[in-house]
Amino acid sequence: MHAKDSNPPDGGYGWVVVVSAFMVMGLTAAVLKTFGLFFVEIQQHFDELASTTSWITSVTIAIFHLGAPVASSLCVRYTHRAVVITGGLLAFSGMALGFLGLNMLWMYATTGFLQGLGISFSWTPAISIVSHYFSKKRALANAIASAGECAFAFTFGPFFQWLISQYGWKGALLIIGGIQLNICVCGVLMRPLASSCLLEASHSEAETPPGDGASRIDKEDKSPITHKTFNWMLVRRPEFVLYAFFGILAAMSFFVPPLFLVPLSYSLGIDESWTASLLSILAMVDFAGRLLCGWYANLHVTKTVHLLTMTITLISTSLMLLPLANNYLSLAIFTGFYGFFFGTTVAVHITVLADVVGMTDFDSALGLFMLIRSTGGFVGPSLAGLIVDMAGDYRAGFYMAGVTLVLSVGFLITLDQLQQRKERESQSNTKAEKSTVPYPSLHLLKIQ
């Protein structure tokens, strides 16, 4: 086995995987991001409170995160390809059954549970396999893949609004479910990347020749990493725990603005057509933020954890200022600031996770991180909905999101301090070891 086979391709077929992941991000996260367009429609149809209706999104987000360890385990046992295809079928089922719209509990089970599980089984393997295909260009590749979310959200805003106006919210759900079946096509393109570690361990197997920068097991669609196991012991690592707590608080905030942006604009008397354009603006600047931050992170000028700390601080500031808007123009400006800084955050937060745990445990770490973060995603929208009901103003939800993000910065700062301390200890130990090595001349004298 040659050394070059041990390294990720950093190109070649990896770019096909990036494009496939780009599409998956758009067909999963972008749908979740623009689901706020259905919020008022569903609330009025069932005549429910904002807090009750927001549980649909809470369930979706919670299952999206809770399903991540299961998705990661299945990726280890089978392949990323198989799990993504399964996710596409689940996402379609959730929307297709949601079309029936029997009652609110039915919506929780379909557009909530099934859709969330489908997103989890699609999103988790897609973002994971990109990190496996890239090393030096990982930040850029992740940024491009994640940009699919905002690229699709840019068109989904007005498109979903048009679907609702033409076919009603139920018909729109059915059509969106059909569109999500394309996730299965994207999954087919995510061919397994052969693991040099497994190939070296299996002396009886023939060496897989490299081709186009990537190696593949063609005879059998079986995971090349089946000898790996899911590492639950990551919860004992302080760095991972700190980053997980950051994830909980971040998840409590990230899903609130897209959920209440549309209702807030309605409360300000903004026309429906202009409201849909706010989601397009949000997606456009989000897209720019991801690509620019991914490009900058790829230069390795600033530590990714420092970059993430800065972007989270700027997002929280934007969320605190957004409720000050009192017309379309001011709301669009503040939405633009929030969207841009949100994009920069998404571009690097997975890369930071890879830096914290290393690629050996990355699949396990991603699943565990999503599982732990699910508590924030589950509580955040429903808590914001409760605060909105109590305050009688959608602005209260944005204030809650901003304050929560401010608290999350503290965990990032602590993580950075811990990493720096361990780096200093490692350097001092290395110097101590070098100082104890005998002079080469003494070895020569002993040999003589």
Q: Please state, rounded to an integer, the average pLDDT across all residues of the chain.
A: 81
Residue in this structure with the two tokens 């089970």, named with its chain if needed: 109
Give CA–CA dist 57/382, Å, rounded: 8
pLDDT, tens digit, 9 for 90 and up, residues 351-362: 888 888 887 788
pLDDT, tens digit, 9 for 90 and up, residues 388-405: 888 888 888 899 999 999
214 phi, psi to nearest 5 deg: -145, 150
Contact assessment for residue 374 and residue 251, using Cβ atoms and an 8 Å cutoff: yes
Report pLDDT for 155: 84
CATH architecture of 12-191+229-427: Up-down Bundle (1.20)
pLDDT bracket for residue 438 (50, 70, 90): low
Contact assessment for residue 5 and residue 196, using Cβ atoms and an 8 Å cutoff: yes
Distances (CA, A) of 119 to 29, 63, 155, 307: 7, 9, 19, 27
33: Cβ contacts below 8 Å, ≥ 6 apart: 149, 150, 153, 156, 258, 279, 283
Q: What is the average pLDDT across 67-71? A: 87
pLDDT, tens digit, 9 for 90 and up, residues 108-157: 999 999 999 999 999 999 988 988 888 888 878 888 898 888 788 878 87
Query: Does 385 have pLDDT greater than 60?
Result: yes
Query: Which residues, in sequence order, are bridge partners of residue 296?
Result: none
- State both tokens at 435: 């100082």
Higher local confidence (pLDDT), 445 or 77: 77
Higher local confidence (pLDDT), 441 or 85: 85
